[in-house]
Structure 1
Amino acid sequence: MILHRPFDSLGGANHGWLDAKHHFSFAGYHDPARMGWGALRVWNDDTIQAQTGFPPHPHADMEIVTYVREGAITHQDNLGNRGRTEAGDVQVMSAGTGIQHGEYNLEPDATRIFQIWIIPDARGGAPTWGSKPFPKGDRSGRFSVLASGLDGDDDALPIRAAARVLGLTLAAGESAEYDFGADRYGYLVPAKGAVEVNGVRIDARDGAAIRDERAIRVTALEDAELVLVDTAP
């Protein structure tokens, strides 16, 4: 089953400095039919204007993965971590017992991100933050694991959930396959370009909620860049 969620159907709010779209219920947007997808709880599509950002605020017991689509995001937290994550790269914050952080666009132009929240397998644990570059050439024509809590994904940023966050770039006409195995949920969003997922057209920034599909074949209808989450039910 692949449920197509067009971009125009997403919730959200435009705060001026932040134009936020929500694939799942978040903040002032509540849809009882969109409370999450397996352990995936939040997928926000955020445009952050230059020289603005999220002031310091707390989190606990959540795995927060930020995929930078355009521009760069600068992170700082009460543990002393500070870092800048550029377009195509990823940062992960395991909130654990609690962390306070701010996220800022210190760039001259707007920054666009996907922020993905995954429920951890267990509560607690020391909070951590990390960032890593993932050259797009390394995921050209194949899925590359960006963040993972599954065995064998040693090159990915670690998360504390039985889940994977993957990236893929395809030239128009190219295809790639991904095997979920049994009893998994998937959620796929193209950052750019239109694709077909097992024959279902998904345009840029649309969502594809995937369930009861052991594998998917993604075909680019135009040059495309996409992110996929594979998670437990």
Structure 2
Amino acid sequence: MIDVRSFNSLGGANHGWLDAKHHFSFASYNDPKRMGWGALRVWNDDTIAAGTGFPPHPHSDMEIITYVREGAITHEDSLGNKGRTEAGDVQVMSAGTGIRHAEYNAEPQATRIFQIWIIPDGERKAPSWGTRPFPKGARSGQFVTLASGMPGDGDALPIRTDARVLGASVKAGETVEYTLGEGRFAYMVPAEGSVEINGKTLNKGDGAAIRDETTLRITASADAELVLVDSAA
């Protein structure tokens, strides 16, 4: 089953400094049919104006993954962490028992991000934060795991949940495949380009909610940058 959610069908709000699109119910956008997908709870497509950002605010009990599409995001938190994550790279904040953080676009141009929240599992732990570069060349024509709480993904940023976040760059005409385990949920969005996934067309910004599909076969009709979440129920 693949349910395509077109970019134009997403909820959202434009706050001036922030133009946000929501794949799932978030803030003032509420759709009972889009409350999450497996353990995936939030997927926001955010455009943040230059010199603005999210002021300090608290979180707990959530794995928050930020995939930077354009520009860069600068992070500060109550643990004393500070860092800048550039386009194509990823940061992870495990909110755990509680953390305050701020995310700012200190760049001279707009920054675009995917903000992905996944529900943690297991024992509550102290919060943590980390970032790392993921060269796009390494994911050319294949999926690379960017963040994971699953066995065997040791090079990825750690998250505290039975899920992984993957990225792939696919040239027009190329095909990549991903095997989805039994009972797993997947959600995929092209950050750029357009693709066909198991016979369904996805354009830039569209979401695909996937389950009961053993193999995902994805062919790019235009050069594409893909982000995929594979999670437990």
TM-score (normalizing by structure 2): 0.99
Q: Which runs of 5+ in 1 are unaligned?
A: none
Alignment of 1:116 with 2:116, yes or no, is yes
Please state how far the C-alpha of 1:124 moved relative to its aligned partner: 1.7
Paired AA for residue 156 in structure 2: A
Instruction: Give the Cα separation in 1 of the matches to 2:90 and 2:143.
Output: 15
Paired AA for residue 125 in structure 1: K
Q: In the alignment, which residue of structure 2 is the partner of 1:145?
A: 145
Indicate conservation of the 8 Å contact 1:175/1:218, yes or no.
yes
Q: In the alignment, which residue of structure 1 is the partner of 2:219?
A: 219
Instruction: Give the Cα separation in 2 of the matches to 1:83 and 1:185.
Output: 31
Paired AA for residue 118 in structure 1: I
Q: In the alignment, which residue of structure 1 is the partner of 2:136?
A: 136
Cα-to-partner distance string for 1:14-50 (whole Å, 9 max, x where unaligned): 0000000000000000000000000000000000000
Instruction: Give the Cα separation in 2 of the matches to 1:106 and 1:232.
Output: 36
SS at match of 2:80: coil
Q: In the alignment, which residue of structure 1 is the partner of 2:189?
A: 189
Paired AA for residue 45 in structure 1: D
Paired AA for residue 83 in structure 1: G
Identity of aligned residues (%): 73
Paired AA for residue 89 in structure 1: D
Paired AA for residue 8 in structure 1: N
Q: In the alignment, which residue of structure 2 is the partner of 1:78?
A: 78
Indicate conservation of the 8 Å contact 1:61/1:123, yes or no.
no
Alignment of 1:155 with 2:155, yes or no, is yes
Alignment of 1:89 with 2:84, yes or no, is no
Q: In the alignment, which residue of structure 1 is the partner of 2:4?
A: 4
Paired AA for residue 177 in structure 2: E
Instruction: Give the Cα separation in 2 of the matches to 1:121 and 1:101.
Output: 22
Indicate conservation of the 8 Å contact 1:191/1:225, yes or no.
yes
Instruction: Give the Cα separation in 1 of the matches to 2:99 and 2:25.
Output: 23
Instruction: Give the Cα separation in 1 of the matches to 2:82 and 2:218.
Output: 36
Q: In the alignment, which residue of structure 2 is the partner of 1:52?
A: 52
Q: In the alignment, which residue of structure 2 is the partner of 1:26?
A: 26
Please state how far the C-alpha of 1:122 moved relative to its aligned partner: 2.5
Cα-to-partner distance string for 1:189-217 (whole Å, 9 max, x where unaligned): 00000000111000000000001001100
Instruction: Give the Cα separation in 2 of the matches to 1:59 and 1:215.
Output: 35
Instruction: Give the Cα separation in 1 of the matches to 2:144 and 2:199.
Output: 22
Runs of at least 4 residues off by over 3 Å: none
Count of paired positions: 233
Indicate conservation of the 8 Å contact 1:97/1:123, yes or no.
no
Paired AA for residue 75 in structure 1: H
Paired AA for residue 217 in structure 1: R
Paired AA for residue 206 in structure 1: D
SS at match of 1:88: coil
Cα-to-partner distance string for 1:134-188 (whole Å, 9 max, x where unaligned): 0000000000000000000000000000000000000100000000121100000
Q: Which runs of 5+ in 2 are unaligned?
A: none
Paired AA for residue 202 in structure 1: L
TM-score (normalizing by structure 1): 0.99
Indicate conservation of the 8 Å contact 1:96/1:123, yes or no.
no
SS at match of 1:222: strand
Paired AA for residue 13 in structure 1: A
Please state how far the C-alpha of 1:123 moved relative to its aligned partner: 4.9
Instruction: Give the Cα separation in 2 of the matches to 1:210 and 1:221.
Output: 20
